[in-house]
Structure 1
Amino acid sequence: MMMDELLVGDVGGTNVRFAMARRTAGRFVIDHFEKLEGDDFGSFEEALASYLETTGLKPDHACFALAGPVRAGEVLLTNRRWHVSARHVSDRFGIGAVNLVNDFAAMARAVPEIDPATFETIVDGTPREGAPVLVAGPGTGFGVATLLGSDASTWHVLSGEGGHVAFSPRDETELELARILLARHGYVSNELVASGSGLNAVHEAFCEIHGRTYQEIGPQEMRQLADAGDEMFLSLIQLRANTVMSAVGDLVLANGALGGVVLAGGVTDRITDFLKTPEACERFVERGPLCQYLRNCPVSLMRDPEAPLIGAAAFHEQEIK
């Protein structure tokens, strides 16, 4: 089956992005891009109908990257209770070939499609040739996927829900945070501590630890307060960065992902300078007798906002061959 252009989507807990993708001179080009607020729609299909009506497009192929586990062509989004079915989308919109893929699986599949010069170095190192590459990081949730490939033409992605691995406290503040969150939530994951969906819970716990009155504020204001020298918010943001680096270090150990780590996600992008601190970088490698296993593993940051769209296109292209 041949494909000239296809509809692609990136469906997260906050935003929905749609575009058309086509491969030109070996790389995917994205156009007709639209970003929609998820809260403006009652379902994924409502959001898609709005996009198609606005653009007047009638695609024959589509692939959507969604923030949730994909099972038998269906997804229930983890942080937005939307149910998406490939068959229903195909039937309603007359799209002949529809694929669904986990958003971080799409992010991982995008890695070999994107110019390496666009990645920002977090930890220097040398990737081991042929080894898996871990792609992970917090946005609204905490996504994790592993890219496997023996050559430049065949890539496979192992996806799961690695962001829900249990948070592992490693100092007194983290132990106290874990105690408070455990009492309130019953289970403390890396997603709860590091992602946007858990930020208010962590902020509230930090206010208790620091003896301050809790007032709900957004991440941008927290960052402004931290930059102005507020010790509580400096500590809160650094803890989240440490959690990200500790979590991806654990996942490299579990997956043997010495091909390197690619960090992604909106939260990751906003706390890059905290991820680069010696404290956070040491969290990545400090594993007792296995420190040397991680010492030369590189960590970089994916800056391309089109990555999940490109990854969805690459996944679909490979699926229909």
Structure 2
Amino acid sequence: MALSAMLVGDVGGTNVRFGIARRENGRFLIDQYQRFEGDDFDSFHDVLARYLNDKGLEPEHACFALAGPVENGEVQLTNRPWHVSAHEISRRFNIAHVHLINDFAGMARAVPELDRARFDTIINGYPVAGAPILVAGPGTGFGVATLFGSDESGWQVLNGEGGHMAFAPRDQDELELAKVLLQRHGYVSNELVASGSGLNAVHEALCEIHGRAYAKLGPQEMRRLADDGDEMFRSLIQIRANAVMSAAGDLVLANGALGGVVLAGGVSERITDFLTSPEAQERFVRRGPLSKYLRNCPVWLMRDPEAPLIGAAAFHEQEIKR
């Protein structure tokens, strides 16, 4: 398999996705796409073996975007007990060239590879040419990456664990929620409040605050109750949307990311109508004397499930060509 056709993967806390990336007419296309439930496998090696065997593939190049920090070619997934090593993948599967990147690094690197039509608008604005672009949002966890560079100079991604920054409550309801979560967890991050992995904790805390009995519910049932007029569940979703937009605004301030914000992650996709609410949009912009700094910064939503695969392919291609 030549460099023009490489194995790519997106390994999250819930799902694992694989495909074969090929660049055609300047764009990456993903063939042989397949999604697996992570809970169905004991290790990353098991799910990768299933995919390669099912497809009859023997790749020479591979890049995997994983939901966890990368250190020395190894990743311990944040929300799944899997340890992944580029060296071990190369040895077990006879893949000559293997890269591991953070999943939001993959999301970020995909941004310049995608047509703008593949993004929804959350907040209209005017991106500053050449300024960094922030890519962030909640799925199972809360990922953050910053993209900078250009097609001419090459694109670079700054990784971090910004989703674990402390949650900053900004009204009485959020203060009460933060107080309960702090008592139970010792530290309250944006990931705890906004991500899928923290949903049950937030639900349980709000039940205590509202004097209601707690019964574990899935996100779809919570959304149904909110749409039917249940004020506690509407508050739950709005608090999560506000946390996403507030964190995004803080990260733009920290990184000077006036090239715009790209929200990603499954939770962002499911609460889009709350992200576009006046309350959530105010949380993004309102920063006291520096509110004007964010007033023209656009915010988009990425819905493409192939984005981290495309980003992994673009990253690997750039690294191999150096």
- Which residue pairs with 2:204 in the alignment? 204
What amino acid maps onto 2:243 in structure 1? T
Give distance in 2, aligned partners of 1:271 and 1:313.
Answer: 29
- Which residue pairs with 2:98 in the alignment? 98
Give distance in 1, aligned partners of 2:115 and 2:124.
Answer: 18
- Which residue pairs with 2:10 in the alignment? 10
TM-score by length of 2: 0.98
What amino acid maps onto 2:180 in structure 1? I
- Which residue pairs with 1:27 in the alignment? 27
1:180 paired with 2:188, answer: no
Indicate the SS of the match to 1:80.
coil
- Which residue pairs with 2:165 in the alignment? 165
Give distance in 2, aligned partners of 1:131 and 1:137.
Answer: 20
1:261 paired with 2:261, answer: yes
- Which residue pairs with 1:313 in the alignment? 313
Alignment of 1:106-255 (within 5 A): 106-152=106-152, 154-255=154-255
What amino acid maps onto 2:198 in structure 1? G
Q: What is the deviation of 1:34?
A: 0.8
Indicate the SS of the match to 2:134.
strand
Give distance in 1, aligned partners of 2:172 and 2:33.
Answer: 46
- Which residue pairs with 2:52 in the alignment? 52
Indicate the SS of the match to 1:54.
helix
Larger CA deviation: 51-60 vs 263-272:
51-60
Give distance in 2, aligned partners of 1:15 and 1:124.
Answer: 31
Indicate the SS of the match to 2:207.
helix
1:294 paired with 2:294, answer: yes
Residues 115-146 of structure 1 show CA distances to partners (whole Å, capped at 9, x for unaligned) of 11111000010000000000000000000000
Indicate the SS of the match to 2:148.
strand
Q: What is the deviation of 1:153?
A: 5.1
Give distance in 1, aligned partners of 2:19 and 2:151.
Answer: 28
Q: What is the deviation of 1:81?
A: 1.3
1:313 to 1:151, Cα distance in 2 relative to 1, 3 A: closer
Spell out structure 1 runs of 4+ moving beyond 3 A.
150-153
Give distance in 2, aligned partners of 1:245 and 1:123.
Answer: 11
Give distance in 2, aligned partners of 1:236 and 1:204.
Answer: 11
Q: Which runs of 5+ in 2 are unaligned?
A: none
1:23 to 1:276, Cα distance in 2 relative to 1, 3 A: same
Indicate the SS of the match to 1:169.
coil
Give distance in 2, aligned partners of 1:3 and 1:100.
Answer: 16
Residues 228-266 of structure 1 show CA distances to partners (whole Å, capped at 9, x for unaligned) of 111000010000000000000000000000000000000
What amino acid maps onto 2:223 in structure 1? R
What amino acid maps onto 1:29 in structure 2? L
What amino acid maps onto 1:39 in structure 2? D
Residues 177-198 of structure 1 show CA distances to partners (whole Å, capped at 9, x for unaligned) of 0000000000000000000000
1:24 to 1:151, Cα distance in 2 relative to 1, 3 A: closer
Residues 136-170 of structure 1 show CA distances to partners (whole Å, capped at 9, x for unaligned) of 00000000000011444500000010000000000
Give distance in 1, aligned partners of 2:90 and 2:34.
Answer: 20
Give distance in 2, aligned partners of 1:183 and 1:319.
Answer: 45
